[in-house]
Structure 1
Amino acid sequence: MNNSVFFLAGVVTIIASCVPISFALPPCVCTRGFSPVCGSDGTTYNNQCMLDCAATKNPDLSLARPGKCDTRAKREEPLLCPCNAIHLPVCGTDGETYANECILDCQKEQTNVEVKYQGPCKVKREEPICACSFDYNPVCGTDGEGQKTYSNRCELECLQRTQAVEFLYEGPCRNKREEIQVAPGPICLCTTDLRPVCASNGLTYDNPCLFDCAKESSTLEVLRIEHEGICAPKPVVIGEGGPQCSCPKVKEPVCASDGQTYSSECMMNCEAKELTVTRNGPC
């Protein structure tokens, strides 16, 4: 827009029109008032007018936010910090290992890193690839929290490469409580651990818990533990004038082909040689 100039009685009068700053050419007329704003280019301008003035040369420039820009985000040059060379590594929250805490604190000038823990950062290891078969030959081992049953020995040994896993014994773990029926008697919550004890009734119980359960259900006599381990076999007379058999007094009932339940296979064979076991357990 053109300015108009008039000469009246020796007085020069200039009539000017206002135009937007975006069409004005710098330098711009701005006050020195300090009300800082942050531009989209990361630069702090003293006030909005100064930013608008700079935008005449950079059309992409705009207001990012009121207030000063965060100068730490712009710094890319390496920091010079007065830290010693003592090697006391710490792990930062950014996953990096720093030679000591002073160097990590120095890095805070550029990032918000904090100390995660003392010592170098732990490197994550990939899970090992092991060539194990799918055969189910269970073994019991540890898993860091207790006992765990592994499908086979190879699976357990594979985990030992990266974890503190130990082999305990062959077969599935027996650490879980199971309901075991002691016939006749109540249902007892006992483990399946094999720690046999010999009772005063001549019977061997797999562990003291099963003995205590049988003791509670016994009404004929007061049971007591004679010794640890299985009871010694004693000759047993089957029927008056019948054969004399040397069978251990263990409670391992079997169901015979005659439909009768015998306390063990030995007792069944002692009763009649022609009998066969149809299944383990009572009929």
Structure 2
Amino acid sequence: MLMKTDLNFHFTFEKNVKVSCNHKCPCCECPADIAPVCGTNGKQYSNECYAKCAKVPVSCTGKCPCKKCECPREYNPVCGANGKSYKNTCVASCKKVPVSCTGKCPCKKCECPREYNPVCGANGKSYKNTCVASCKKVPVKCNTKCPCKNTEYCAKNNEPVCGVNGKTYNNECYARLSNTAIKCKTECPCPEPCDCPRTYNPVCGTDDKTYDSKCYAKCSKVGIKCPGRCPCNCGCSTDYKPVCGTNGQTYANKCTANCRKVSIKCHRECPCTPSCVCPAVYEPVCGTDSVTYGNKCQATCKKILIKCHKKCPCVPPCVCPAIYKPVCGTDGSTYSSQCQARCKNIAIKCDHECPCKQKCVCPAVYQPVCGSDDVTYDNQCKANCKRVTVSCKGKCPCGCKCPPYKSDVCGEDNKTYYNECYAKCA
């Protein structure tokens, strides 16, 4: 029940809640860096620390809501039928947009496969494959990188392919020797184009190539080696410690890049920018990896968040309630509360302002009174000796009288109270 008397409010509660910190709940020490995450409760947090503080598991990185469609981070751009570029085929499929061509929009008239079967043009330049040379309207001189060698020898293994001229060759090498592009990797005639759904459920074929789905692998007459992208059984963790490959693509971690047989250019997301140049000023900071850096720039260059702006370890600051219950320290100085004295590592000489007076002599009579500090004293004399005003006669507690000023505090019950008095009354 709430009662108003002059400027004071009276509350009566059943329990006494201690104050954990002098601000709204929850009480947490988190870096001020913005790296948003979305919690399983659908709420967005500034970074993972704040989500943990609220005891909420992280559903996904980035702003809420989380996207249902999860795609690899690899950058293999495609152009959608709507004229927009997408990061890869999966992202386009998630948006339910058909792919018009590989590469960024707009689509070029000449579309070639990504296969690397180098040829040497009549102009002395090397091209990725016969198709690329044809698009440039350059005749092919030989089926290798420039310069052309006198001869090329083909193995006698029987892996028939069908050329664009409708002829079947014993293997790809014989087709190249005939300066013929490959239409399909089977005997002629080539099967009709696959009518597969545009869903992205990658599989690794027995030819160690990744197909968008089982349907596409089956259409290419290739068996399934394992679900997911090639290679199989890499055993890589899902930790995101990005590296940039020599092919200009970003991989989730070093293991993933090695699995793709790609050399690492730098240990961060692509592109690989020049190394950080930081000022030679010493303003130490402690990173979230518990390592001390010379200044904020050096930590940022390592992509490390700042835990506190001083040397490691980060010691939580001394937080005292905003109350005035003066004590006199052994150093002869008056402190606003016992907490303030403890924060300065000063012992308490007496429980009032300096200087400390001689001890009071009170009668041994028991007439209990409740002091303004919510402590029961044997009689009024003993309360006066402690320089405590009497709130009411008899044992504590009296009805709570709290000041109307707002100074939010967080209780041990993880609730926010109007000020410290309200917390004590609770």
- TM score, norm. by length of structure 1: 0.27
Relative contact order, CA 8 A, sep 6+: which one is greater? 2
More strand by share: 1
Higher Rg: 1
